[in-house]
Amino acid sequence: MTPRSTNEAAGAGPARATAARRASGARRREEILRIAVETFATRGYHNASLAEIAERAGLTQAGLLHHFPSKTALLSGVLELRDSSEIEALGPGRPRGTAFLDHLVETVRLNSTREGIVRLYAVLSAESVTEGHPAQQFFRDRYDGLRALVTEALREACEPGEVDAGLDVESVASAVIAVMDGLQVQWLLAPRSVDMAAVTRRVLTALLADLRPPAAGPAGSGPGDASGTP
82-127 tens-digit pLDDT: 766 565 556 677 888 888 889 999 999 999 999 998 999 999 999 9
What is the C-alpha to C-alpha distance for residues 129 and 181, in angstroms, rounded to an integer? 15
pLDDT at position 96: 86
Q: Are residues 102 and 194 in the same domain?
A: yes
pLDDT at position 219: 44
Mean pLDDT value across residues 47-73:
96
The last residue of a domain, from among 71, 98, 124 = 71
Q: Are residues 100 and 67 in the same domain?
A: no
pLDDT at position 41: 93
Q: Are residues 110 and 56 in the same domain?
A: no
What is the C-alpha to C-alpha distance for residues 148 and 173, in angstroms, rounded to an integer? 8
Q: Are residues 50 and 140 in the same domain?
A: no
pLDDT at position 91: 65
Average pLDDT over the chain, rounded to an integer: 84
Q: Are residues 66 and 109 in the same domain?
A: no
Residue 226 has pLDDT above 50, yes or no: no
Domain count, the chain: 2
pLDDT at position 212: 74
Q: Are residues 113 and 66 in the same domain?
A: no
pLDDT at position 224: 62
Mean pLDDT value across residues 174-192:
96
Ramachandran category for residue 2: left, alpha or beta (phi over 0 → left; psi -120 to 50 → alpha):
beta
Q: Are residues 142 and 105 in the same domain?
A: yes
User: CATH number, domain at 97?
Assistant: 1.10.357
pLDDT at position 222: 62
**Structural domain span for residue 13:** 1-71
Is 195 among the domain residues?
Answer: yes
Q: Are residues 109 and 215 in the same domain?
A: yes
User: CATH number, domain at 28?
Assistant: 1.10.10.60
Phi, psi of 228 (to 5 degrees): 85, 0
Is 18 among the domain residues?
Answer: yes
pTM for the structure as a whole? 0.75
**Cβ atoms within 10 Å of 196's Cβ, excluding its own:** 22
pLDDT category at 209 given cuts 50, 70, 90 is confident
Residues 6+ apart with CB under 8 A from 176: 104, 150, 154, 203, 204, 207
Residue 200 has pLDDT above 70, yes or no: yes
What is the C-alpha to C-alpha distance for residues 55 and 53, in angstroms, rounded to an integer? 5
Is 85 among the domain residues?
Answer: no
Q: Are residues 130 and 20 in the same domain?
A: no
Helix, strand, coil percentages for the chain (3-state, nearest 5)? 75, 0, 25
Percent of the chain with pLDDT over 70: 73
Q: Are residues 121 and 30 in the same domain?
A: no
Q: Are residues 66 and 161 in the same domain?
A: no
What is the C-alpha to C-alpha distance for residues 103 and 225, in angstroms, rounded to an integer? 13
Is 76 among the domain residues?
Answer: no
